[in-house]
Chains A and B, each alone.
Chain A
C-alpha cells in the first residue's frame, strides 16, 4: 500500500537525514498520488483489515471517493512541503530540524490514516496523533513565550474537541453496536441520540476545521508555526475537520433540515467574520490564517446547501453545493499552501511578519512575487484562476434554486458570497500591494532576497496547479464527480443534467479569451511603448517634494476604512490619542488592533472566574490532620445512612 510510505521519513539525523526524509516523502507522495488516481479511475479501493488485540473490533482501512478528495491535496502538499522544508528549516541552522522532520512525517501519515480509517477507535487514535504532532510542529520554536501560549491554547482546544468526539463515537457505538463505521446512509436520524451525535461532531470536528466560534486557536497557531507547517495545517489539517463532519453526516440517510440550515449559517458566519478579521490583520500569517477561516466557511456553505437540498429533494442544491464544497477543498489546499509557503519565503527574506514593515519586494523577488500574486488572485476567487470555479458552483446552485426550486431563501447565499469576495479583494490587495509594491518600509525589506530553488520550485508547482485548474475547470469537475455521486447518492444523469447548467466549457473559453486578450493588448502596449519616448522620475507626490518611504500608505491605514465600516463584526480595539499640542503635533499615534473576540473577551474571563472559584474550593485541603480524620468519619456516616 503506497500510503504507508509516508512515515518512511521518521528517521531523523541532521542535514543529510533531512534530505533523505524529504526524498522519502516525495516518493511516498508520488506513489500516493498514483494510487489515488488509479482508484479514481473506477477501481474501488481495497479494504485492509488489521486484527489488533484491542477490545474495539478489527481495524478497517479503506479508501472511497470521499477520501480521495482529501487525499489528493494531502499528498501534493506533503510532497511540496517536505522539499521546501529542507531549505526553509535547514538542520544546520535549527536544532529542532530533526524533531520537526520526524513529526512532519508522523503528521502526514496520521492524516492519511484518518482519511482511510473505517473504525472509530482507529480514527480517533490517528486523529489525536495528528493533533499532537501538529502541536509539536507548531511549537518548534518553543523558546518564545508567544509560541508557548498559542501552543497551549491549541492543545487545549484540540483536546477538548477530541473529548467531544469520544462522546460522539461512544454514542454511535451504543447506537449501532460496533466500533466500525456504519455504511453511508444506513442510519435513520430518528434514533434518539442522533441530534446529540451531530452536535458533538460539529463541536469536535468544527473546532478542528476552524468553524466559528471555535476558530479562536487558529490565527495564533498558524501565525507562530514554521511556515511550511502552517501550510500543512491550513492547507490540509483543517480539511480533516471537514472530512470528519462529512463522514459523520454521511452515516445518516435523511437528516433533519435544521442540520443543513445550522451548517449553512455557521458557514456564512465564518466566511464573513473570518475575512473581516483577516482584513484587519497586520501580521502576514495571521491574515492568511483568518482567511482560512473564511474559506472553511465557504466550504461549509456548500455542504449546508447540499444538506438542505437533500432534505427538500432539490438536486440542484445538492449537486452544486457538493461540487462547490469539494472543489473548494482541493483549491484551498492548493492556493493556501502556496501562500503560506510564500509567506515563509518572505519571513526568510525580511525577518518579520509585520506587513507594514515590508514593501517594494516585487523587484527583489522576481519569482516569488508573481507566484504570490497568483495565490492572491486565486484565493479571491477571481477568474481565470481556480478559486473562481468552486464559487461559481455555489453561486449557480444558490441562484438556480432561487429561480426554479421551492427554496428561494438559498438565493441569499449569493450576496453573502459577493460580500465575502469583495472583502477578500480588499484583504489581498492590501496584502500583495503593501508587501511587494511601493518602496521598502524598513531596512530589512530593502535587503530582502529571493529564495533558493528548493523553496521556489514547490511554489511554482502549486501555482501551476492553480492556473491549470483555473483554465481547465473540467479537470476539477472530473475529479470530484465520483465523490458527489457517492455522497449525494445521485444517479449520473442527474449530475450531468445539473452540471450542464454550470458553464464549465464556456468558462474555459472565456478564460482563454481573457488571457489571450490580455496578451494581445499587453504586447500591443509594449510595442507602442518601445516606439515612444520614455523617461523615469519620482512618483508624483501631489506637490509634496520629498516623499519618504514612511509616508506610504501602510496596510493598517489601507484597511482602516473597511474596518470602520465592519466595526460591528470585528470589534477593533482603537487607541485614539488626544493631540498633545495643536501645533506642532507632538508624537501622538493612532492605532487599532483587531482582537480575538472569542478568546480574549469570552474564554479568558471565564477561565479566570473558574480559577477563582477553584481557589476557594481548594481551602478544603487545609492541612489540619484532625479534620482530615473527621472527613473519614463523615464519609463513613454518609455511606451508613445512604439507602439507595
Chain B
C-alpha cells in the first residue's frame, strides 16, 4: 500500500525535476550558472495561473489534445514498476497497453497541432509521427526480449527481473538492449540528437513546434506531460540498466531516485556534447536502433 502511494507520489511530483537537472547539467557544461533545479515547477505553476490565447481556427480537438496526452501518459506511468516495486496496475500483457498508450497520446498531440492549421505545426506533426513510427518496433523488440528473458508478460516482472546474474548471463544482449532503449528514450522525448527542446528555429523543431499555439494551463499540461513521459521511459531504462535491488523498500526508492537523477545528468551530458542530427539522418539512426534491438532478440532466442 505504502509502495503504491509512494509510486503515485513519485510519479506525480518527481518528473519536472528531471528537466531541471538536465537544464542544470547543460548550463554547467556551458559554463553558466543556469536556472535553479526547481525552475520547471515554477514554470508550471506560473503557466497554470496564466490566461490563454486560442487561434480562431482551432476546435475542441485543440483543447482535448493535451488532456488526453496527459491522461494516457499517467496511465502508462501507473503501469511500470519503480525501483523494483510492482506497479499499481499490473497484469499480463500490459506491456502492449503501455506501448499503445503512447500511440494514443501521440495521436492527440499531433491532431491538436494540425488543428491550428499552421504549416509549421503540421511539419512538426509529420516528423513526430514518422519518427516515432520508426521508434516503435525498437520498443517492442526490447520489451519482447526482456519478456523472453524474464518468461513473463507483465511489465512489473519484466522490468524488476533483470539482476546482475542476468547481466552476466546474457550481457551482450542486455547491453544492446540498453543502448537501443536509450536511443528510443531520446527519440521519444525528442531530445538531442533528434530534436532540440530549446532551439529557436521552428523549421528544425519536432516536438516543440507542435505546441507553439498552446498557452496557459494547456501548455502547462503539455510540459508536465512531456516531463512525465521522460520520467516513465527513463524509469524503464533505469530498471533495465540498473539491476540492483536491496531488500529494503525505502532504500530501493532512494537508489531509484538517485538513478533517475543520474540518468537526467547523462541526458544533459549527451545533449551538451552532441549536436542535433540532420532531419534526413534521423531515420537511419532509428533504424539502427531497431536493428540493435532485433539483434538482441536474436541473441536471446537462439
Interface residues, chain A, CB within 8 Å of chain B? Answer: 359-360, 362-363, 369, 373, 377, 380-383, 388, 391-392, 395-396, 399-400, 402-404, 408, 411, 414-415, 418-419, 421-423, 425-426, 428-429, 432-434, 436-439, 501-503, 506-507, 509-510, 513-514, 517-518, 521-522, 525-526, 528-529, 532-542, 547, 549, 551-553, 557-562, 565
Which B-chain residue is minimally distant from A384 (CB atoms)? Answer: B104
Interface pair A402/B89, CB less than 8 Å apart = no
Whole-angstrom distance between the Cβ of B143 and the nearest chain A Cβ:
8
A553-B100 contact in complex given A438-B116, A542-B202, C-beta closer than 8 Å: no
Query: Is A558 within 8 A of B133, CB to CB?
Result: no
Distance in angstroms between the alpha carbons of A507 and B101 in the assembled complex: 12
In the assembled complex, B117 has its CB within 8 A of some CB on chain A: yes
CB distance from A201 to the nearest CB of B (A): 32
A501 touches B110 (CB 8 A): no
User: Is there contact, CB below 8 Å, between A408 and B52?
Assistant: no
CA–CA, A422 to B133, complex, Å? 4
Q: Give chain A residues whose Cβ lies under 8 Å from the Cβ of B96.
A: 391-392, 395-396
Q: 25 A–B contact pairs at CB < 8 A?
A: A360-B117, A383-B101, A396-B96, A400-B153, A411-B301, A418-B139, A422-B129, A425-B103, A425-B106, A433-B122, A438-B117, A503-B92, A521-B71, A522-B64, A528-B217, A532-B49, A532-B216, A533-B51, A535-B51, A539-B57, A540-B118, A540-B213, A549-B117, A553-B125, A562-B130
> Given A403-B151, A438-B116, A561 and B216 touching (CB < 8 A)?
no
> Using Cβ atoms and an 8 Å threshold, which residues of chain A touch B218?
525
Question: What residues of chain B lie closer than 8 Å to A533, measured between beta carbons?
Answer: 51
Given A514-B75, A565-B283, 5 additional A-B pairs, CB 8 A:
A396-B92, A425-B132, A518-B71, A532-B52, A536-B53
Residues of A within 8 A of B294 (CB): 415
Instruction: Judge whether B67 and A518 touch: CB under 8 Å.
Output: yes
Q: Which residues of B contact A551 (CB under 8 A)?
A: 119
Most buried by B among A380, A513, A553, A560: A553
Of all A-B residue pairs in the complex, the 4 with the closest CB atoms, nearest first, are: A553-B122, A422-B133, A433-B114, A438-B117
Complex Cα distance A414/B120, Å? 34
Give B56's nearest chain A residue, CB to CB: A536
> Once the chains are docked, how many angstroms separate the CA of A359 from the CA of B57?
10
- State the CA gap A589–B197 with chains docked (Å): 33
* A426 contact from B101, B115, B133, Cβ within 8 A: B133
B205 to chain A, nearest CB (A): 10
Q: Which residues of B contact A534 (CB under 8 A)?
A: 51-54
Q: Which residues of A contact B100 (CB under 8 A)?
A: 381-383, 388, 421
Asked if B115 contacts A438 (CB within 8 A), the reply is yes
CB–CB A517/B75 < 8 A: yes
Task: Tell me the complex Cα distance, A395–B61, Å.
Answer: 30
CA distance A411 to B153 in the complex (A): 13
- The B47-92 residues at the A interface (CB cut-off 8 A) are 48-61, 63-64, 66-68, 70-72, 74-75, 89, 91-92
Bits for B2-45, please: 1 = Cβ < 8 Å to A, else 0: 00000000000000000000000000000000000000000000
Chain A residues near B75 (CB-CB < 8 A): 510, 513-514, 517
Question: Are B107 and A382 within 8 A (Cβ)?
Answer: yes
User: Chain A contacts of B139 at CB under 8 A?
Assistant: 418
Q: How far is the CA of A313 from the CA of B97 in the complex (A)?
A: 28
How far does the alpha carbon of A225 sit from the alpha carbon of B20 in the complex, in Å?
Answer: 57
Majority secondary structure, A binding face: helix
Contact of B301 with A429 in the complex, beta carbons under 8 Å: no
Tell me which of A433, A510, A539 contacts B125 (CB under 8 A): A433
Contacts of B103 in A (CB 8 A): 380, 382, 421-422, 425
Quick check: is B141 within 8 A (CB to CB) of the other chain? Answer: yes
Establish whether residues A399 and B153, one from each chain, have CB atoms under 8 Å apart when the complex forms: yes
B94-A506 in contact (CB<8A): yes
Q: Determine how close the nearest CB of chain A comes to the CB of B273; give it in whole angstroms.
A: 28
Q: Are A557 and B122 in contact (CB under 8 A)?
A: yes
Q: Does B249 contact A (CB under 8 A)?
A: no
CA distance A553 to B64 in the complex (A): 21
Best-surrounded residue of A360, A377, A395, A501 (most CB of chain B within 10 A):
A395
Within the assembled complex, what's the spacing in Å between the Cα atoms of A558 and B301? 38
Kindly provide the distance from the CB of B254 to the nearest chain A CB, expressed in whole angstroms: 29
Known: A404-B151, A521-B70, A542-B202. A414 touches B133 (CB 8 A): no
In Å, the complex CA distance between A518 and B96 comes to 20
CA distance A403 to B221 in the complex (A): 39
CB pair B147–A362 under 8 Å, yes or no, is: no
Which residues of B are at the interface with A, using a C-beta cutoff of 8 A? 48-61, 63-64, 66-68, 70-72, 74-75, 89, 91-94, 96-97, 99-101, 103-104, 106-107, 110-111, 114-123, 125-127, 129-130, 132-134, 136-137, 139-141, 144, 147-148, 151-153, 202, 212-213, 216-218, 221, 283, 290, 294, 297, 301
**Quick one: closest A residue to B139, CB to CB?**
A418
Q: How far, in whole Å, are A418 and B136 apart by their CA atoms in the complex?
A: 6
Beta-carbon contact of B136 and A421 below 8 Å = yes
Q: How far is the CA of A377 from the CA of B101 in the complex (A)?
A: 12
- A506 in complex: contacting residue of B91, B110, B119, B212, CB < 8 Å: B91
A503-B93 in contact (CB<8A): yes
Q: Are B111 and A561 in contact (CB under 8 A)?
A: no
CA distance A513 to B97 in the complex (A): 13
- Cross-chain contact B125 with A418 (CB below 8 angstroms): no
Give the residues in chain B near A542, CB-CB below 8 Å. 118, 120, 202, 212
Compute how far the CA of A528 lies from the CA of B140 in the bound complex, rounded to whole angstroms. 38
Cα(A552)–Cα(B54), bound, Å: 18
The residues of A that contact B101 with a CB separation of less than 8 Å are 383, 514
A432 and B108 alpha carbons, distance in the complex (Å): 11
Q: Are B115 and A437 in contact (CB under 8 A)?
A: yes
- The smallest beta-carbon distance between B276 and chain A, in angstroms, is 17
* Contact A422 to B97, CB < 8 A, known contacts A503-B91, A518-B71, A561-B126: no
Which residues on B sit within 8 Å (CB–CB) of A536?
53-56
How many angstroms between the C-alpha atoms of A553 and B106 in the bound complex?
18
The answer for the CA separation of A239 and B136 in the assembled complex, in Å, is 29
Of the listed residues A422, A539, A541, the one surrounded by the most CB atoms of chain B closer than 10 A to its CB is A539
Interface-central residue, B96, B136, B217, by most chain A CB under 10 Å = B96
Measured between beta carbons, the chain B residues less than 8 angstroms from A510 are 75, 89, 94, 97
Contact A432 B111 (CB under 8 A): yes
B residues in contact with A363, CB < 8 Å: 59
In the bound complex, how far is the Cα of B218 from the Cα of A562, in angstroms? 29
| A84 vs B153: C-alpha distance when bound (angstroms) | 44
Residues of B within 8 A of A540 (CB): 55, 116, 118, 212-213
A-side contacts of B66, CB under 8 Å: 525
Cα A401 to Cα B218 in complex, Å, equals: 43
A438 touches B97 (CB 8 A): no
Residue of B nearest to A505 (CB): B91
In the bound assembly, the distance between CA atoms of A526 and B147 in angstroms comes to 41
Known A536-B54, A553-B114; contact A547-B119, beta-carbon cutoff 8 A: yes
* A562 and B133 contact, CB distance less than 8 A: yes
Residues of A within 8 A of B136 (CB): 418-419, 421-422
Closest to A393 in B: B93
- Within 8 Å CB of A565, what residues of B? 130, 134, 283
Chain A contacts for B127, CB-based, 8 A: 561
Contact call A418/B53, Cβ cutoff below 8 A: no
Q: Give Cα distance in the complex from A522 to B61, angstroms.
A: 12
- The answer for the CA separation of A392 and B103 in the assembled complex, in Å, is 14
- CB-based contact B104/A383 at 8 Å: yes
**Known contacts A411-B144, A425-B103, A503-B94; A552/B122 CB under 8 A:** yes
By a CB distance below 8 angstroms, the chain B residues around A538 are 55-56
- Nearest to B75 among chain A residues (CB) is A514
B67/A525 in contact, CB under 8 A: yes
Q: Please state if B114 and A434 are interface contacts (CB–CB under 8 Å).
A: yes
- State the Cβ distance, B210 to closest chain A Cβ, in Å: 11
Look across to chain A and name the residue whose beta carbon is closest to the beta carbon of B115.
A437
Minimum CB distance partner of B302 in chain A: A408
User: How far apart are the CA atoms of A540 and B54 in the complex, in Å?
Assistant: 10
Residues of chain A within 8 A (CB-CB) of B147 are 399, 402-403
Which of A400, A404, A518, A549 has the largest number of chain B CB atoms within 10 A? A518
Q: Which of B89, B115, B129, B148 contacts A425 (CB 8 A)?
A: B129
